[in-house]
């Protein structure tokens, strides 16, 4: 079984157990290593934390998909833990575009992800 499949099975099992698990939010590879060393069982990236670490605001468009996927690769490579990814609005307004983004994140090693329902546009926010 490959490492990503094992991570995905582990992540699924964490969601199915009778008690909650705490999942911290690394913003880069260094924070992922630190959090993994503290005994957490999985990691979930943070778009805000990543943007802030680059001196950018937490806003749609502050990070590109390429920025985000590069950070995902670095975080996945820094730990053996399952990694879920904050994908903002999926970098798309369409379900097909969001699905494409999720597949790209999976190709970087992610085993879960979140898509926000905010557009970042004041005239059409949801």
pLDDT tens by residue, the chain, 126 residues: 899 999 999 999 999 999 999 999 999 999 999 999 999 999 999 999 999 999 999 877 899 999 999 999 999 999 999 999 999 999 998 999 999 999 999 999 999 999 988 777 788 877
pLDDT of residue 121: 74
Q: Is residue 123 part of a domain?
A: no
Q: Is residue 79 part of a domain?
A: yes
Tell me which residue range forms the domain holding 100.
Answer: 3-114
The CATH number given to whatever domain includes residue 73 is 3.20.20.60
Do the Cβ atoms of 51 and 58 come closer than 8 Å? yes
Q: Is residue 40 part of a domain?
A: yes
Q: Is residue 49 part of a domain?
A: yes
Q: Is residue 126 part of a domain?
A: no
Q: Into how many domains does the chain fold?
A: 1
Q: Is residue 59 part of a domain?
A: yes
pTM of the model: 0.92
Do the Cβ atoms of 118 and 125 come closer than 8 Å? yes
- The Cα–Cα gap between 47 and 68 comes to 8
Residue 16 tokens read as 């199915």
Q: Is residue 122 part of a domain?
A: no
Q: Is residue 124 part of a domain?
A: no
Residue 51 CB: number of other CB atoms within 10 A?
A: 19
């Amino acid at each position: 079984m490959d490492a990503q499949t094992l991570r995905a099975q582990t992540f699924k099992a964490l969601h199915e157990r009778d008690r909650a698990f705490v999942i911290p939010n690394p913003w880069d590879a260094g924070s992922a290593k630190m959090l993994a060393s503290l005994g957490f069982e999985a990691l979930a990236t943070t778009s805000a934390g990543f943007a802030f670490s680059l001196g950018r605001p937490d806003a749609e468009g502050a990070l590109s998909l390429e920025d985000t996927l590069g950070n995902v690769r670095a975080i996945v490579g820094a730990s053996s833990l399952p990694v879920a990814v904050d994908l903002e609005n999926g970098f798309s307004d369409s379900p097909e575009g969001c699905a494409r983004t999720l597949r790209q994140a999976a190709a970087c090693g992610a085993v879960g992800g979140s898509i926000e329902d905010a557009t970042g546009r004041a005239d059409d926010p949801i």
